[in-house]
């Protein structure tokens, strides 16, 4: 089979995507390039006057800021954001049938949830205890872990908040929700929370839940003699917790117990064509089997939110619309704009406007109805495809998803992204094969075959779905093999530091 040379994503599109570098004067599929068109970038399928819409995915992604000739390179030099954006939200395509593979091997927890890993968390309640928590985890991994082979490790969950902050309001509430979500996470077989003692974020806020009572301990450094004494005390507390967690074993569990957080970072012109829609297929399969998938990054659905709202009940749709309005105001209050996107790397990879980036990003959500919309780090209380509010910054968004209950992360990337999310395994999906070849140490699945080999999205989605279940059952991801996850816990910081 010969490789396609240009891709048209919808019959109404005014642009096509070059699937490899196109030289000036080169003709493909009847289109002659007036100038060089880099791989993943757009070529004009017809002439457009200044002010006319530029259409991709069947949606308005920009307006022409100057006259664009047939065959021209369509990018930042001749595109601008429109005053509004498309509200056409017809659902296109059919959702996949329920998958035949409907179980995985996981750790059943007494509260009914299921873990895909069996870590023990060493959580800092405040920035002042982060160094001690790092030292505790390092020493526990050195001295205790060899005794307990059924534990995946002692994971330090550290951050830079909890002290100089208001004791109420959005920022404080988000931090408390996040830490409670990690305290209760099914991928932890036990938890130790360490504070300093005089901080705003007091340990009294984090009482144990019923099932974790025997595996949950807290203390303040100021109450045990100092930093070295804190490490010694922590090991005394962790040893019996580890002994209990070591007795946990994997058993066959239904896919309905999986909660998938979906992320994209370092996106390029292929992200919305290959990895994102293929992940959308896998998400639909997971939902059809009774599982849950979470889409986030509100500033990066801007311009495509209508596609989600159209698939939601009125109350859920209104919540998503309110999130967009909040972000407009939040950005303005901080001297920014939702329009200030994509990043330089995104643009080099072929993305021109935030609308184009968002249209590709929402493809991760497949075609399933939106069954709920949640605040950052809010516990997900129903199955299905849901939305969780978050910044577009990947570590912050993923941290919120894990706090909401995600026991798997699927992370698509086109430019290359290095990330892990203890205690939740992070699966990296490359949008193009060049990336998969250049960074094989960080990529778990190459989705570039959608364009390089003509692999149908349904087939690529099945590969992702199978990989999700394999990883949920214990297969290590590339980021786990390298050791990512100790420094990627980044709760959303909202509000002033006092």
pLDDT tens-digit profile of 9-27? 999 999 999 999 999 999 9
Cα separation, 54 vs 60, in Å, equals 6
**Whole-number pLDDT of residue 212:** 64
CA distances to 4, 148, 273 from 479, in Å:
32, 23, 24
**Whole-number pLDDT of residue 132:** 98
pLDDT, mean of residues 278-300 = 97
Q: What architecture does CATH give domain 6-80?
A: Roll (2.30)
The percentage of residues in the chain with a pLDDT greater than 90, rounded to a whole number, is 84
Residue-averaged pLDDT of the chain: 93
Topology of 119-245 in CATH? Answer: Ribose 5-phosphate Isomerase B; Chain: A, (3.40.1400)
| Radius of gyration, CA atoms only, the chain | 24
Q: Is the pLDDT confidence value at 158 over 50?
A: yes
Report strand pairing: 408-413 vs 384-388. unpaired
Do 53 and 60 contact (CB within 8 A), yes or no? yes
Q: Is the pLDDT confidence value at 368 over 60?
A: yes
Sequence-distant (6+) residues with CB within 8 A of 225 are: none
- Beta pairing partners, 32: 27
Q: Contacts from 311-319 at CB under 8 Å and sequence distance 24+?
A: 311/89, 311/91, 311/367, 311/368, 311/369, 311/370, 312/369, 312/370, 312/371, 312/373, 316/370, 316/371, 316/372, 316/373, 316/387, 317/370, 319/373
**Taking the CB of residue 347, how many other CB atoms lie within 10 A of it?**
18
- Beta pairing partners, 411: 263, 428
Q: Is the pLDDT confidence value at 2 over 60?
A: no
**Whole-number pLDDT of residue 497:** 61
Query: Considering only CA atoms, which of 72, 90, 67, 81 is closest in space to residue 10?
Result: 90
Query: Considering only CA atoms, which of 222, 209, 213, 215 is closest in space to residue 238?
Result: 215
How many CA atoms within 13 Å lie on the side-chain side of 33?
24
Cα separation, 437 vs 2, in Å, equals 21
Report strand pairing: 6-7 vs 15-18. antiparallel
Q: Which two tokens stand for residue 447?
A: 């989705």
Q: What angle do CA 261, 101, 402 make, to 5 degrees?
A: 15
Per-domain boundaries in the chain: 6-80, 119-245, 254-482
Q: Which two tokens stand for residue 237?
A: 């507390």
Q: Is the pLDDT confidence value at 1 over 50?
A: no
pLDDT band at 335 (very low <50, low <70, confident <90, very high): confident
pLDDT, mean of residues 210-234 = 91
Cα-Cα-Cα-Cα dihedral sign, residues 414, 419, 421, 427: positive
Do 198 and 109 contact (CB within 8 A), yes or no? no
Q: pLDDT higher for 210 or 371?
A: 371
pLDDT, mean of residues 126-130 = 97
Dihedral, CA of residue 250, residue 253, residue 256 and residue 262, to nearest 10: 30
Q: What is the pLDDT of residues 392-445, one digit of tens each?
A: 999 999 999 999 999 999 999 999 989 999 999 999 999 999 999 999 999 999
pLDDT, mean of residues 446-473 = 96
Helix axes 457-472, 275-288, angle to 10 degrees: 60
Q: Which two tokens stand for residue 121?
A: 């968390």
Q: Is the pLDDT confidence value at 350 over 70?
A: yes
pLDDT, mean of residues 194-221 = 88
Dihedral, CA of residue 200, residue 330, residue 404 and residue 134, to nearest 10: -50
**Whole-number pLDDT of residue 11:** 92
Query: Considering only CA atoms, which of 151, 162, 157, 161 is closest in space to residue 132?
Result: 157
Q: Is the pLDDT confidence value at 109 over 90?
A: yes
Q: Is the pLDDT confidence value at 97 over 90?
A: no
pLDDT, mean of residues 465-489 = 96
Cα separation, 125 vs 196, in Å, equals 8
Q: What is the pLDDT of residues 58-95, one digit of tens each?
A: 899 999 999 999 999 999 999 998 886 666 666 667 78
pLDDT, mean of residues 288-294 = 98
């Amino acid at each position: 089979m010969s490789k396609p040379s240009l891709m048209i994503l919808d019959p109404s599109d005014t642009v096509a995507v070059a699937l490899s570098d196109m030289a000036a004067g080169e003709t493909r599929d009847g289109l002659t390039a007036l100038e060089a068109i880099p791989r993943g970038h757009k070529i004009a399928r017809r002439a457009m006057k200044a002010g006319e819409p530029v259409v991709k995915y069947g949606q308005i992604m920009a307006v022409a800021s100057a006259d664009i000739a047939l065959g021209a390179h369509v990018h930042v030099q001749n595109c601008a954001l429109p005053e509004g954006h498309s509200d056409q939200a017809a659902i296109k395509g059919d959702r996949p049938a329920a998958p035949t593979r409907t179980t995985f091997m996981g750790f059943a927890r007494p509260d009914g949830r299921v873990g895909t890993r069996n870590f023990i968390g060493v959580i800092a309640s405040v920035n002042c205890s982060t160094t001690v928590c790092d030292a505790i985890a390092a020493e526990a991994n050195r001295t205790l872990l060899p005794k307990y082979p059924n534990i995946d490790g002692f994971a330090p969950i550290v951050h830079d908040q909890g002290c100089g902050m208001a004791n109420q309001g959005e920022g404080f509430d988000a931090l408390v929700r996040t830490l409670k979500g990690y305290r209760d996470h099914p991928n932890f077989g036990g938890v130790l929370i360490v504070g300093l003692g005089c901080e705003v974020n007091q340990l009294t806020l984090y009482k144990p839940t019923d099932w974790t009572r025997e595996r949950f301990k807290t203390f303040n450094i100021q109450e045990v003699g100092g930093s070295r004494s804190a490490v010694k005390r922590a090991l005394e507390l962790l040893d019996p917790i580890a002994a209990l967690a070591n007795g946990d074993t994997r058993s066959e569990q239904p896919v309905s117990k999986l909660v998938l957080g979906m992320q994209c970072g370092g996106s390029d012109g292929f992200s919305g064509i290959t990895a994102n829609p293929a992940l959308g297929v896998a998400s639909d399969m997971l939902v059809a089997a009774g599982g849950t998938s979470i889409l986030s990054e509100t500033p990066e659905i801007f311009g495509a939110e209508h596609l989600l709202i159209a698939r939601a009940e009125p109350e859920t749709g209104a919540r998503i619309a309110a999130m967009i309005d909040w972000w407009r105001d939040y950005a303005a209050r901080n001297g920014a704009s939702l329009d200030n996107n994509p990043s330089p790397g995104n643009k080099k990879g072929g993305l021109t406007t935030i609308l184009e980036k968002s249209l590709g990003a929402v493809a991760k959500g497949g075609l399933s109805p939106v069954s709920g919309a949640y605040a950052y780090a809010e516990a997900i209380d129903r199955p299905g495809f849901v939305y969780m509010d978050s910044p577009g910054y990947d570590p912050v968004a993923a941290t919120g998803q894990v706090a909401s209950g995600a026991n798997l992360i699927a992370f698509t990337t086109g430019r290359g992204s290095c990330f892990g999310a203890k205690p939740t395994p992070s699966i990296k999906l490359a949008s193009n094969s060049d990336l998969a070849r250049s960074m094989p140490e960080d990529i778990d699945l190459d989705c570039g075959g959608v364009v390089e080999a003509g692999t149908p999205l349904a087939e690529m989605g099945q590969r992702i779905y199978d990989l999700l279940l394999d990883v949920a059952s214990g297969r290590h991801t590339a980021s786990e093999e390298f050791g990512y996850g100790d420094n990627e816990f980044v709760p959303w910081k909202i509000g002033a530091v006092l």
